[in-house]
Amino acid sequence: MTIAEKEIKKFENHNCAENAVFYQAMEEVIYSIAPLLESDEKYSRHAILERLVVPDRIIKFKVTWLDDENKVQVNTGFRVQFNNALGPYKGGLRFHPSVNEGVLKFLGFEQILKNSLTGLSIGGAKGGSDFDPKGKSDFEIMKFCTAFMTELHKYIGPRIDVPAGDIGVGEREIGYLFGEYKKLTSSYEGALTGKPFFFGGSLMRPQATGYGAVYFTESMLEIEAKEPLSGKICTVSGAGNVALHAIEKLQQIGAIVVSCSDSHGTIYDPRGVDLELLKDIKEKRRASLEEYCSAHNEATYTSVLEYPEGGHAVWEIPCYAAFPCATQNELTELDAQTLITNGCVSVTEGANMPTTREATALLLSHKICFAPAKAANAGGVAVSEFEMSQNASMSKWSFEKVDAKLKETMQMICKRVALTAKDYGVEGNYVDGANIAGFKKVADAMIAEGI
């Protein structure tokens, strides 16, 4: 039995339906860090894995709010404070009906290693609710956010735990959450990041994750001696914060982005996506993507209902580089095979764990440059930390300064991941490189801080 198999056996009790994605993330990390565990027995002696896979605490609470018809609605809220060995707990809030403890444990666990990779002083956490913001009025969103914060404020603070946005939580929601935090604590402090710029947000926070993923990809392609993205066909999935800003940066550097998608379907526009129109549909009006085709009749729309067997229309479009930026497990083994057949050179995870384990293994075995989420999408949390620094010193950095620091951070992460992979005998494997580099820093801090 290999060391990885032995370690995984210890955690078999974590493998149940609700924990499926958490177990998937944990298994990947354990396989990746096996060379580190073999080379230094101190990690086993200090039971680091056993300690790391259990959150410091999980806060679960009831959220009761009144809808526009004055009916009482009840949701569940969560905050998973996973690990603060490197700094205050930090990670986003997700509002989506699929949210449960297992999903947040997966995201919080990934966040520990991601935050470690940034080299900044931030620990790992994640939170959210099964509340569905879709179809709710602004007033209902505000009432839900207010009720959510009534409970959450007891557990957060600029030196304790600093939540941010994620799926379903953008500037609007962070604004309402911050307003209520301020009221409840009588304190104007950076207990949340992702705030609008005019009351404490950082310039470039909305762009950070998408732009960061593109900066990471440019750096990875250069290290791997592949052609740059300029002039190349790229496919992007999703049409939310990460996807829109990945498309924006790709277009700025001269790449041709021909797709986007949402939970209902995919747009393929061979002439290149019209970003202004897309922002108008998805950001301003929160409408259906299908509308895109009425303005661009050369574009096609494919409904997800046409893909019941798990292949996804967006990955059937031939491309040089693919950017899954929607949600977890959206790129399956079948999709990976299609990408390989169509000559794809690189895949960058803008979303958290959008690629299934089987798909990742297939892409790596075909030497596709593969940028894993915990490295490639760390730009969002890095700029969140810049927002914490600005709040603490009551200063405001220029767009250029934040952008330069973001680019530098993403290049640094990319080099560190590539070097770590080389040092541990898995050159070119950015999954193992990211897991080992991220784990080692947290583990060393945990050992130094005692039990």
CB of 236 to ligand NDP, least distance (A): 10
With contact defined as beta carbons under 8 Å apart, do 159 and 187 qualify? no
Please, which residue, 150 or 259, has the CB nearer to ligand NDP?
259
Q: Is 6 a catalytic residue?
A: no
CB of 10 to ligand NDP, least distance (A): 28
Q: Which of 446, 443, 447, 442 is nearest to 121 (CA)?
A: 442
Please, which residue, 55 or 133, has the CB nearer to ligand NDP?
133
> What does R_g of the chain's alpha carbons equal in angstroms?
21
Please, which residue, 374 or 416, has the CB nearer to ligand NDP?
374
Please, which residue, 218 or 387, has the CB nearer to ligand NDP?
387
Q: Which residue's CB comes closest to ligand NDP?
A: 240
State which H helix or E strand residue 260 sits in. Answer: strand 259-261
CB of 278 to ligand NDP, least distance (A): 10
With contact defined as beta carbons under 8 Å apart, do 113 and 29 qualify? yes
Please, which residue, 87 or 165, has the CB nearer to ligand NDP?
165
- Alpha helices (H) in 11-125, listed in sequence order: 20-39, 42-45, 48-52, 101-117
- How far is it, in rounded angstroms, from Cα 275 to Cα 175? 25
CB of 111 to ligand NDP, least distance (A): 9
CB of 114 to ligand NDP, least distance (A): 8
With contact defined as beta carbons under 8 Å apart, do 436 and 36 qualify? yes
Find the helix packing angle between 430-449 and 101-117, rounded to 10°.
Answer: 90
- How far is it, in rounded angstroms, from Cα 208 to Cα 245? 8
Q: Which of 39, 61, 43, 62 is nearest to 53 (CA)?
A: 43
Please, which residue, 150 or 202, has the CB nearer to ligand NDP?
202
CB of 227 to ligand NDP, least distance (A): 26
Question: Got the DSSP string for 286-318?
Answer: ---GGGHHHH-TT-EEEEGGG-TTS--GGGGS-
Q: Which of 379, 374, 381 is nearest to 432 (CA)?
A: 374
Options 90, 105, 114, 126, the catalytic residue: 126
Return the biggest CA–CA distance within the chain.
Answer: 63
Residues linked to residue 265 through DSSP beta bridges, in sequence order? 303
CB of 373 to ligand NDP, least distance (A): 7
* Strand order across the 57-66 sheet: 57-66, 72-83, 124-129, 89-95, 161-164
Binding positions for ligand NDP, rule: CB under 6 A: 165-168, 209, 237-243, 261-264, 325-327, 330, 350-352, 377, 380
Please, which residue, 77 or 350, has the CB nearer to ligand NDP?
350
Residue numbers annotated as active site: 126
